[in-house]
Structure formats: C-alpha cells, structure tokens
Structure 1
Amino acid sequence: MSTEDRRPHPPGDDDRVVDLGDDFVVLPEQTTDDTDRGWGEATGDNDDRLLAERPPHWD
C-alpha cells in the first residue's frame, strides 16, 4: 500500500448535503426563448381570431 492510499480524501459530491426543499428548482418550467417575446413576436392572445377564422369543415 502506498502513502497516497493512506491519505484522507477530501469530501466528494456524495458527502455533500443538498437541500431539496419545496422551493428547490433545477430548471424553470418555461425558458425565456420559449415565449412570444423570445421568438420576437408581440405578446397577446389571438385565440379569438383563430377561432373566428377556422375553416368551415371544422364545424
């Protein structure tokens, strides 16, 4: 056994305490580039327009 094997190792990730409480977030639900603003589009809802302009065969 070498002297390197006998030296204590510094604590690794397995020894680290991580608080996984209710407010712990790894990634957000939606990124900023996955929004209208991120795509460079105007913010707003156009569902009413889309429903009014739907094709006749959708009725």
Structure 2
Amino acid sequence: MMTQEPRSRGDDDRVVDLGDDFTVLPEQTADDTDQGWGERTGDNDDRLLAERPPHWD
C-alpha cells in the first residue's frame, strides 16, 4: 500500500494582507533620484542661462 505525502501549499494558496498601506512597487526607487545619480540637489538653470553662448541671443 502506498501512502500519499501531504501536499505543500503553493503561492496561490497563501493569504496575503492587502491593507491600506500595501504597495507593490515604490513610486520612485532610491537610485532614480538626483542623489542616487550622485548629483547635487538644486538646479543651476540661472547659471546656465547667464552663461549662454553669444550665438544663442
């Protein structure tokens, strides 16, 4: 007589808590920021506009 081993529960059978604060993926990852790219915070638009080449006028 063969005995059957109990089946293990797969991922489809497990209970997952999907509460109010549940997120699948973050809106933005840490490496998708200026700091993650090694850049300084803030902008330098004013400096770039002031240093425009003469042919841009």
Same fold (TM over 0.5): yes
Unaligned runs of 5+ in 1: none
TM-score (norm 2): 0.62
The count of corresponding residues between Structure 1 and Structure 2 is 52
Q: Percent identity?
A: 66
Q: Which portions of structure 1, spanning 4 or more consecutive aligned residues, are displaced by more than 6 angstroms?
A: none
Inter-partner Cα distance in structure 2 for 1:28 and 1:46: 28
Give me the CA root mean square deviation.
Answer: 2.8
Unaligned runs of 5+ in 2: 50-55
Q: Which has the higher helix share?
A: 1
TM-score (norm 1): 0.60
What's the CA shift for 1:29? 0.7
